[in-house]
Amino acid sequence: MFKKILIANRGEIAVRVIRACKELGIKTVAVYSTEDRESMHVKLADEAICIGPPEAKKSYLNLFNVAQAIANSGCDAVHPGYGFLSENPNFVRICDDLGVKFIGPDAETMERLADKAKVKAILDENGIPTVPGSRGSVDDEDSLIRVAKKIGYPILLKAAWGGGGKGMRVVRSENELIDAFRAAKLEAKASFGRDDIYVEKFIEHPRHIEVQIIADEFGNVVHIGERDCTLQRRHQKLLEESPSPVLKEYTRKKLHHTAVEAAKVLGYKNAGTLEFLFDGEDFYFIEINTRIQVEHPVSEMCYGVDLIKEQIRVSAGEELSFMQSALEPQFHVIECRINAEDPERFYPSPGTVKGLYIPGGPGVRVDTAVACGSKISPYYDSMIAKLIVRGGSREEARKRMLRCLDEFVIEGVKTTVPFFKKILTTEEFINNNYDTNFIDKRFLGRG
């Protein structure tokens, strides 16, 4: 087992990893920008190293500065969390060169799986259901027109590298196609440094469902159920729940089996997530995430496992501590991402937290790095906390979440707490009758 782990991240995920390490008896090293000098993750770690000024590109994304911290820390492993350098194969190679273990997949795997178009083609060839579309990226406009005609409109143009809705365009007719293609390529190039675009059939009213998997070095791959991530704003997840309330048991088992088989085909090791679209009848693979996800606590509370500890164990060369037969969902779990944003316009709301009351009680978990007096910085992501609740049924979990949102007091900054109260009391959420476009249409007047 590792003796010392450096956490190459900040905020609540850094705190989450530090706590798991403490319970495993592992020393921790925090890295921080000058903006984060008084942050919770710095105070909780055994050691802390400053890696630069507030701007992320000069600190948390600065490969040289982070590498220097690793070299000076004497750590034997690095946990990247999510975001920042977590899916950067060059960072993995730096860790290898420094003789420390990167807690995640190796650089070759990460690089190979970053190309969504190629991953889709590999899985197509191995019988894994994917959204109908192009085999790999589309290189020119003539090929694009042919592919679009073959699969039929509407279609979706997607950046082969990256995510978050960047480089994505819905096209409903050939008249829109070329302009949308050029715009998608420009946005993809600006966002990810690559302008490769591939084409998929656009599914009009999908649910977005992902399967959590973890794999060790001995060929064992297990799933830890699925998470329904359908409630999104402009392709950004806001609320997740598990189990998905739309899947029948036969479909659920088939989805889990498909995810495990896909992970094996791709040769994936460590924790990862396979994402699917579900149209009410069939599901289709769309991408794999080669990191721990923001919403991993949903699976942890549903199945009673600790994914961060398991990540660390398998990275240290141990076998998985549980087999598939031991994993069963125990509760219905819902997570809301509480952001420092204006709940009406979704503009960031940086500032100082002047008052804070965190809800509690049976079946309640709050992952946060914020305390009274904490500064919500304009330099980083606006997430304040993840509020996760469990119940014996979906309705019990929904009512518990509403109770916790009523109790959650965050003074000094605007938050999305009121927005989640609206969502959870809509007829659509209560009756489980919505798709990925619901929030954009109902609350933002889009689509």
Catalytic residues: 291
* Structure letter (DSSP) for residue 55: S
Contact 332, 392 (CB under 8 A): yes
CA distance linking residue 335 with residue 290, whole number of Å: 21
DSSP 15-46: HHHHHHHHHHT-EEEEEEEGGGTT-HHHHHSS
Report the DSSP pairing between strands 77-79 and 4-7: parallel
Contact 201, 279 (CB under 8 A): no
CA distance linking residue 291 with residue 339, whole number of Å: 22
CA distance linking residue 298 with residue 229, whole number of Å: 11
Q: Give the three-class secondary structure for 202.
A: coil
Contact 18, 44 (CB under 8 A): yes
Q: Give the three-class secondary structure for 106.
A: coil
In this structure, what token pair is assigned to residue 252? 């659920």
CA distance linking residue 88 with residue 61, whole number of Å: 10
The alpha carbon of residue 59 and the mean position of all alpha carbons in its chain are separated, in whole angstroms, by 22
CA distance linking residue 215 with residue 224, whole number of Å: 11
Q: How does 281-302 read in b/e, with b if 16+ C-beta sit within 10 Å? A: eebbbbbbbbbbbbbbbbbbbb
Q: Give the three-class secondary structure for 366.
A: strand
Contact 51, 62 (CB under 8 A): yes
In this structure, what token pair is assigned to residue 63? 């490969």
Q: How many CB atoms lie within 10 A of CB 172?
A: 12
What residues does 357 pair with on adjacent strands? 409
- The continuous run of DSSP H or E covering 116 comes out as helix 116-125
Q: What is the 3-state secondary structure (H, E, C) of 69-100?
A: HHHHHCCCEEECCCCCCCCCHHHHHHHHHCCC
Compute the radius of gyration of the chain from its Cα atoms: 21
